[in-house]
Amino acid sequence: MLGFASLNPTYKTARANYREGKSVSKVVIQFLGSGDAFGSGGRGQTCIHVVAGDYQFLIDCGASALASMKRWGVSPASIDSILITHLHGDHFGGIPFFILEAQLVSKRTRPLVIAGPPGLEDRIHKAMEVSFPGSSRTRQKFSITYIELAERMVKPIGPLMVNAYPMVHASGAPAYALRVAVAGRLIVYSGDTEWTDTLAQAAWDADLFICEAYFFDKKVKNHLDYATLAAHRPEIACQRLILTHMSDDMLARLPGLDVEAAEDGTRIVL
């Protein structure tokens, strides 16, 4: 396979920067929610919990995320940052509940960082007002810093190095695959997207590539099916691939496939 460094002269430097950082003994990833927007298979909506040393973060925070966190014993107060791939409710809709829980139940005082596509803060405030009128104007006892991620620009967030790759998924704002470096590991999540060559670029050299496979072979706009992903698998130079965000159609086909797929509660140690 032709390395992406040869396609982009600055990529080797960016890759080296990703691999920098304080080493910890392990990075633990747990799928708190691995489902689609419609609860297929009785699964929670997207919420991926990552622990690296004393730093904890979420990748996406779907509407059911708070219940999923409590189901799997993850304290909302322990979360340092939330990274959002795109602004659909099954990927960011849990944030209003997270913020209110932090204020009223956990009594949070430590700062929180929320990072995602342009328009993130405005969309969250609107979601809070629709769900709980007046809540977006209530002062919390903890600070919230909103960070808008720009395409293909490495952004430090605490010990994380985050890069956002543009995907093909209409959500009223840019949709991203997120490439996250932490403690010398690379974790990439596709978010929701049709196939695009940019997806292979985002996943290149990842220790773990988390990718949606919404249907088995049905082609639908804005989403990726397993057959298309399998056809492009030789282009994806990652160390480990795990599927998520699957419909009932895809879930029914899993037993006959030689592929790793997430369930709610699946735990991976890197």
- As a whole number of angstroms, the distance between CA 167 and CA 11 comes to 19
Flag whether 259 is in a domain: no
Tens of pLDDT, residue by residue, the chain (270 residues): 223 333 333 344 445 555 555 555 799 999 999 999 999 999 999 999 999 999 999 999 999 999 999 999 999 999 999 999 999 999 999 999 999 999 999 999 999 999 999 999 999 999 999 999 999 998 889 999 999 999 999 999 999 999 999 999 999 999 999 999 999 999 999 999 999 999 999 999 999 999 999 999 999 999 999 999 999 999 999 999 999 999 999 999 999 999 999 999 999 999
Q: Which alpha helices (DSSP H) does the chain contain, by range?
A: 4-7, 11-19, 65-71, 89-92, 95-104, 120-131, 197-203, 226-231, 248-253
**Beta-strand pair 55-59/47-52:** antiparallel
Residue 4 is predicted with a pLDDT of 33
Residue 10 is predicted with a pLDDT of 38
Average model confidence (pLDDT) across the chain:
92
Flag whether 267 is in a domain: no
Flag whether 264 is in a domain: no
Flag whether 255 is in a domain: no
Hunting for tokens 């969250």 — which residue is that?
124
Residue 25 is predicted with a pLDDT of 72
The CATH number assigned to the domain holding 69 equals 3.60.15.10
Flag whether 215 is in a domain: yes
Tally of domains within the chain: 1
Flag whether 260 is in a domain: no
Residue 106 is predicted with a pLDDT of 94
